[in-house]
Chains A and B, each alone.
Chain A
């Protein structure tokens, strides 16, 4: 009997402990959902009383912050499309072609990319972008992000494509398809789940980045939301919690929507190869 009791107490203790950890992690999220609808929100957790949209009304009046959401969209979508397109083509070539030293190329790129997107290379990047005459443009942000994210994206995708049998494209070519047709008809649909992973990953990365747009952009009308969120701080540097909460919720929506869309449309599923 004591054995049973000990087992029960052990399990109960474990359940309590995990519930506690879960609660600790859930609290900020609950705040994140409640605070925007509370016109007197503070850093403490409180149930909105009354439930109000006044925070959002005020945020919407801040045209700089709202335009920034549009800028974030331009930069993230632009960067993501560039990364996805270039990474798919590059990793397909790296996986399928008999280029000597192609593994080394990917690894060296991967190594440098952590430097490029990191803050260590900020000064040279700034100088390059200035010389190129595209400072303070969306293009500069898109290009720098694409450069920084591409190697990792290529690395992920090349691994994915390596795992797909060549016989798919080979059978398409024997059936009469040109290499380009074989790529679009057969290879790309099979690779698509990997591309989707890269798209989500790149989008989230660019959407949440602060440093690069902060350094490369000057004019207020081009700043993305990650920078504009600082307009909800007072002159003294203290956050205006009510507005910050409402804006943060708006800011996170596109990413949530992207996840929901991808999960609905593709389900993060993989088509495996078919083998008897």
Chain B
């Protein structure tokens, strides 16, 4: 086990900057998810940890060692690839035992070790099959077994579940979570699936256009997103963002937007010294409820879509003509037959405020 540290790491491909000034640390025994949309630089970051890419600037540390220019084989890492990279000409036993073969272990011993790991992953009965003869889920576990067969300082995962169907993905996710709890490994896990990141990570690094926008434990990211980008990326469905006109009057913050009825708020300390102008108001779908008539804080709109997901229903309304939509997640049992005008109520403590640059305005008690 070891920590990983990035010191001001920039990676350019020709004229394209994949990551810029990355500065962060993955603690010993942490499970960190790099989360972001495609093209945000998360896979490049992982590949620089693995040594498959060399940073254009900056340094990469694993434990106490500067590994910036160290070959992948000498980094003490294991990696699971998105396409699994199982060797098609080797049986599963040889695939799993390959890292041991490279380390010069004799065949009987390394096969015994492969058997032990494969049994843990419930693929022990498949060891004499070829990779093409097993299912996608089994291939995924084989690649996991190959990564786990040698003790490594850091385990790297490059979207290992993205090629699985939904049911298998949940199974594998639960299994990875269990594994992390069981073994306490240091792991860095790349994903674009926020639910996967929330479920697995001890800390999430949300990335956007080559930079880390927020690096915090999952609940912190969920409760206090640092920017509108994070707010919009984490959560399912994502946070509702409402552009609002803000002014301070009589020591209180007044927010105005189409369809929005909001009692004046106390002025956050950060806004006390400057005129707020425009603010973005955020409220998560699960914090909206169908409003009682005349509720103090409410948002009104016309019904756009009503999606029943089983226990919950997603209700989407349009606040104005056009695109200004708002989604609420409410219990199906509490959802009456809706049509026409709909109003959602919410509590002021569930509001998030972002300034004109999209940065979070710290609220009380933060």
Contact = CB atoms under 8 A, between A and B. Distances in A.
B71 interface: yes
Contacts of A273: 83, 88
A176 B99 contact: yes
Nearest to A165: B83
A231 to B, nearest CB: 46
Contact of A274 (B132, B146, B164): B132
A174 B70 CA distance: 11
Nearest to A167: B85
A168 interface: yes
B140 interface: yes
Of A174, A185, A189, most B-chain CB atoms within 10 Å: A174
A72 B81 CA distance: 48
A173 B146 CA distance: 13
Interface in B197-254: none
A172 B52 contact: no
B163 A275 contact: yes
Nearest to A98: B13
A195 to B, nearest CB: 13
A271 interface: yes
B73 A173 contact: yes
B146 A276 contact: no
Contact of B88 (A170, A176, A274, A276): A274
Interface size bracket, B side? 35 or more
Interface residues of A, number: 23
Contacts of A276: 84, 135-137, 139-140, 163-164
Contacts of A176: 73, 99, 102-103, 150
Among the interface residues B85, B88, B137, which one has the most CB atoms of the partner chain A within 10 A?
Answer: B85
A190 B132 CA distance: 13
Centre residue among A165, A168, A171 by max chain B CB count within 10 A: A171
Nearest to A188: B89
Interface in B76-135: 77-79, 81-89, 98-99, 101-103, 131-132, 135
A79 to B, nearest CB: 28
B83 A167 contact: yes
Nearest to A179: B71
Contacts of B137: 276
Nearest to A186: B87
Given A168-B85, A273-B88, A274-B86, A174 B102 contact: no
A190 B88 contact: yes
Given A171-B81, A177-B73, A274-B83, 14 more contacts: A165-B85, A168-B87, A170-B79, A171-B85, A172-B102, A173-B71, A175-B73, A176-B102, A176-B150, A181-B102, A189-B89, A274-B139, A276-B84, A276-B140
Most buried by B among A173, A185, A272: A173
Interface string A128-139: 000000000000
B72 interface: yes
A276 B139 CA distance: 8
